[in-house]
Amino acid sequence: QQIQEDLNKQLFDNLVSFLRRSHSEFREKTTEWTFRMKSREIPTAALVLGVNVTDHDLTFRSLSEVLQDNITPYIALLEAKDCPGIKNLMQKLMGQLMNCYIDVDSLEDEDHVQVSHNRIRCSMTSIISWYQNVTKKTDSETPSKKRTSSSRHWQSPPVVVILKDMESFTTKVLQDFIVISSQHIHELPLVLIFGIATSPMIIHSLLPHSVSSLLCIELFQSLSCKEHLSTIIDKLLLTAQFPFKLGEKVLQVLINIFLYHDFSVQNFIKGFQLCIVEHFCSQPLSVLCCPLVDAKKRVNSLSHGQCENIRRLPSFRRYVENQVSEKQILLLTADNFLKEITQKLLEDLHVYHENYVSVLRCLHVFTSSLPKYPLGKQIRELHCACLENQVWETEEYESSLQLARMLNKSDLVTMLQQCVEIFVSSSGKEFDKTVEKLKEFLTQFQELEAEALQERDGSVSAQKELQKKTDLYHLQKTLLELKESRRSKKLTKFEMLRIEVVDYIDSLVRTYLVPADHKTLHEIVYFNTASVLRGHLNAAPRVALHTALNNPYCYLKNQALKSDGGNISNKAPDICIVYKLHLECGRLINLVDWLEAFATVVTAVEGPNADAASLDQVDDIIHARFIRAVSELELLGFIKPSKQKTDHVARLTWGGC
Amino acid sequence: TLAKKVKEDKMSNLVEEYFEAHSSSKVLTSDRTLQKLQRRLNQQTLHDLLKKAPLAYAAEIKELNQQHESLFSKWMLHLHWGFNIVLYGLGSKRDLLEKFRTSVLQDSVHLVINGYFPSITVRAILNSITEEVLDHTGTFHSPLDHLEFIVKRFKEDSSLELYVLIHNLDSQMLRGERSQQILAQLSSLPNIYLIASIDHINAPLMWDQAKLSLYNWLWYETTTFSPYVEETSYENSLLVQQSGSLALSSVTHVLRSLTLNARGIFRLLARYQLEHKDNPSYPGLSFQDFYQQCREAFLVNSDLTLRAQLTEFKDHKLIRAKRGGDGVEYLLIPVDDSTLTDFLEKEDEDV
């Protein structure tokens, strides 16, 4: 569990630092702008943030931090759910401003604390008087009491109000607030920041012209969530230092949830977190999933049972089968030998990851520039393809190689240079040779270039010769010769070289991008049970209900319930029978007929041995059971009572589900 | 692609069928009503009868439950990792949650909320947190303030831990947007662990992205097949005699407590109404006629006593007065005819 916590912390640190970085530029812009805008009417910044509302919290928090550090101590962050009316809005605003002030000032002015508690009289005038008080105080006190350096520059620092979710505010509240604050803009320098999830058009549809003309809006665009995703994948999955890895299917599920459902980076991270938890819970050998140095230590302290676990791993079995027989015996019996081998294997795995990442990036450099992107545009697609199976066996890879063989020189050279950079920066040791080889290629290309210049000179001279001889016959003859030579021309040096390069890359791919499944002991670091993940994150309650009602055998393992779908088995639980009967009806269901049908089905089971005397009794019980089943269906939302016709219920679902 | 095409065809057929079925307002069902049944059950007898009826497949259901119970430790782990757990699937999850509570949460502070209880409110939930867990007595202006206070307390004191179990998060009372918002914010606190169950097929529609991320759900399928006993006991079924129109038992109860003359007055009105039950335009008995008849039967001696008596009936919702087009007051008993017949028969036996 300690490891898990470490991992998680690492993960979050990575993430947060990344998010901070990605927003910093954007924030800089905004802060700069707030700085500038101070003197105008109501300056408003509209931040277009995209539909992934859940990720915006962090953005706003860091934005307000930056603002607080650089410009003004007065920041209020309003959320639509806190402000159903203008009164609540003002209360919230005032409370936050005063708290903000106290936060920044950090000297405890008792009367201020009291004011913030007393929320009953929260009006614009009280805010203004408070503001003037504060500014007067700061104005008078600035020389003596050194406040934050930036606020010293200001006679009156602006008050920033951030409206987090513009779309969910009530139009009236928003309009009122803007109108009111525009009235007081001279006494209270206000700056509004809108967080917009959809598009800037929403400002115009929410606010009428008379109100929006009071604003001076500038638009800011944030990074799209897809870019976030690719950076996160880059940072989390495509590094060697992070020991935990995702299998292909799991990654696919996570990416699908992201791209097809919510675009939320937070949910992606949540899924990733769940993967970590699941992995460390379900896989007994996951203790070894940690940095290499620790892992080696832990291997030494493994118990016998854990060694047995290693032996049971399918990938390890495969490994054993490929060994000579004496070694096999040793591996299967001697724990110490096993530990030694395990250490070696773990090291192999580690090296494999390091190499994998750089070769993958290299391949990505090549494939991402090809027309039509046969292997995908993003590196994540390439990653998935490589994890899925041997990438060089796929058609897409074949076609991309063919395309690569037709690249022109300048592209090829830049790509090679990029590859060299990647290899140089990668920590793997084996790439010295590769780098050398690639550099050699590059120098050859430069040579080629020089040669090409000379050649061109030669051809120019040949053409000059052509121009000299104006004899028609000769001209024709030389032209034909030229053509002939071109057709039968052997490959130029450049083309040869090109082929050589591509082949080399190909060989690199073949050696280093072996899918993880083929590696020994991959189970330790790869989490690959996608079904668990999908069940927990992307559940389908309706499907579960449907199968339970339609086919109770899935859950209740009783032979009597086994049936070939469609027909109503009379031994099923009551609610299933009632459900099946209700499926056969249209929009409205007559309760009496329904009850009768139910009774017929049920008595078919009990019929033979029910004597006439107790029939009445049986009928009552059946009636009661029917009532129970129907009210259960009502609770589940399949039917509702209808007023259209007496004693009818309306179906709320359609078709078979 | 052939299979795909077939599927598409099927889909479009389905869509067309849907609109066909919903286009005409005419519905083809038989006209039989529940009146034709010999007798209707009331809540009590229903309960007794169901107790007698054996539960089918008890063994299998038990096995199923054991499967779910084996996951308890995993639930705890996930809860501590900051996830909240939501249970879905057919069957009541009440017993399962109870089991979880008694076996795992025995020693920790926990709060059980019966969402199916028809008068539960978010305010009550918040109150129970502040009063029982935080030992704070005091009232708040609005649930938002209340929530803010709780959040503040939980953030200040990291030793506070609270497990919240909600049966039927999707019940009538809690499914509103505002209550869900508050519950979501509550559940997003790191020290509050939420386990909830949902039953309604459209329950996930309650949550938008923001709420989902606050809830941080982890879905668990727990199909139990056990009957919804508690949950449906508050549900007024159509088949059970309804409280919307007066039940026979309530009529008799009220009348038992009245004087003999008052009962006579009511019986007179009931009989008169039954005589005219086949006349669809029957407006009720006018007050003047009624007074006349009561006088003749020596049930009242003055206009005033009858009026006093009628007010008493009106208070118990036994009769309804309606002003006709000619300004005359007509009196009606708002009970269906069969109940009235039953009532009269019973009265005749008694008398």
Which CATH number is A558's domain given?
1.10.10
Question: Is residue A567 very low, low, confident or very high in pLDDT (cuts 50, 70, 90)?
Answer: low
Whether A205 and A332 share a structural domain = no
Specify whether the CB–CB gap between A259 and A292 falls below 8 A: no
Mean pLDDT to the nearest integer, A453-479: 59
Whether A508 and A595 share a structural domain = no
Determine the pLDDT at residue A147.
39
Question: Structurally, how many domains does chain A consist of?
Answer: 3
The distance of Cα A247 from the centroid of its chain, to the nearest Å, equals: 16
Determine the pLDDT at residue A116.
43
CA distance A537 to chain B (A): 6
Comparing A172-186, A423-437, B276-290, which segment has the lowest mean pLDDT?
Answer: A423-437
Whether A588 and A514 share a structural domain = no
A110 in any annotated domain = no
> Domain end: A172, A201, A223, which one?
A223
CA distance B189 to chain A (A): 15
| Chain segment A530-561, per-residue pLDDT in tens | 888 888 888 888 888 888 888 887 777 766 66
Maximum alpha-carbon separation in chain A: 126
Contacts 24+ apart (CB under 8 A), A334-339: A335/A302, A335/A304, A335/A307, A338/A307, A338/A310, A338/A311, A339/A299, A339/A300, A339/A302, A339/A307
Mean pLDDT to the nearest integer, A407-433: 66
pLDDT for residue B224 is more than 80: yes
Mean pLDDT to the nearest integer, A622-650: 83
A599 in any annotated domain = yes
| Chain segment A492-536, per-residue pLDDT in tens | 666 666 666 666 666 666 666 666 667 777 888 888 888 888 888
A536 in any annotated domain = no
The residue written with tokens 């007179």 in the block is B268
Mean pLDDT to the nearest integer, A44-63: 79
Chain B positions in Cβ-Cβ contact with residue A556 (cut-off 8 Å): 57, 60-61, 64, 225
Maximum alpha-carbon separation in chain B: 89
Whether A506 and A634 share a structural domain = no
Which of B14, B178, B201 best probes binding to A when mutated, by most A CB atoms within 10 angstroms?
Answer: B201
Determine the pLDDT at residue A142.
37
Mean pLDDT to the nearest integer, B13-42: 68
- Which of B60, B89, B238 has its CB closest to that of A556? B60
Who has greater pLDDT, A464 or A254?
Answer: A254
Chain A positions in Cβ-Cβ contact with residue B22 (cut-off 8 Å): 587
Whether A207 and A244 share a structural domain = no
Contacts of A363 (CB under 8 A, 6+ apart): A375, A382, A505, A508, A509, A513
A215 in any annotated domain = yes
| Chain segment A569-613, per-residue pLDDT in tens | 667 788 888 888 888 877 788 888 888 888 888 887 665 555 554
Whether A173 and A267 share a structural domain = no
Helices (H) and strands (E) in chain B — how many of each?
15, 8
A178 in any annotated domain = yes
Q: How far apart are CA A35 and CA A31, in angstroms?
A: 6
A481 in any annotated domain = no
Whether A235 and A176 share a structural domain = no
Whether A501 and A628 share a structural domain = no
Comparing A178-187, A268-277, B42-51, B88-97, which segment has the lowest mean pLDDT?
Answer: B42-51
pLDDT for residue A11 is more than 70: no
Chain B positions in Cβ-Cβ contact with residue A557 (cut-off 8 Å): 60, 63
A471 in any annotated domain = no
Determine the pLDDT at residue A403.
79
- 8-state DSSP, A614: G
Q: With helix as H, strand as E and coil as C, how does B186-223 read?
A: HHCCCCEEEEEECCCCCHHHHCCHHHHHHHCEEEEECC
Determine the pLDDT at residue A506.
65
The residue written with tokens 């089968």 in the block is A321
Is the minimum CB–CB distance between A95 and chain B shorter than 8 Å? no
A208 in any annotated domain = yes
pLDDT for residue B39 is more than 70: no
What the block records as the tokens of A394 is 């796929």
CA distance B112 to chain A (A): 20
pTM higher than 0.80: no
> Domain end: A223, A241, A267, which one?
A223
Chain B positions in Cβ-Cβ contact with residue A51 (cut-off 8 Å): 209
Minimum Cα–Cα distance from B77: chain A residue:
A277
Whether A233 and A183 share a structural domain = no
Question: Is residue A20 very low, low, confident or very high in pLDDT (cuts 50, 70, 90)?
Answer: low
The answer to whether the complex's ipTM is over 0.95 is no
| Chain segment B54-74, per-residue pLDDT in tens | 777 788 888 888 888 888 888
Mean pLDDT to the nearest integer, A102-113: 48
Range of the domain at A409: 228-453+490-526
pLDDT for residue A148 is more than 50: no
**Portion of chain A with pLDDT greater than 90, in percent:** 0
pLDDT for residue A479 is more than 80: no
Determine the pLDDT at residue A210.
85
Give the CATH number of the domain where residue A161 resides: 3.40.50.300
pLDDT for residue A645 is more than 70: yes
Determine the pLDDT at residue A513.
64
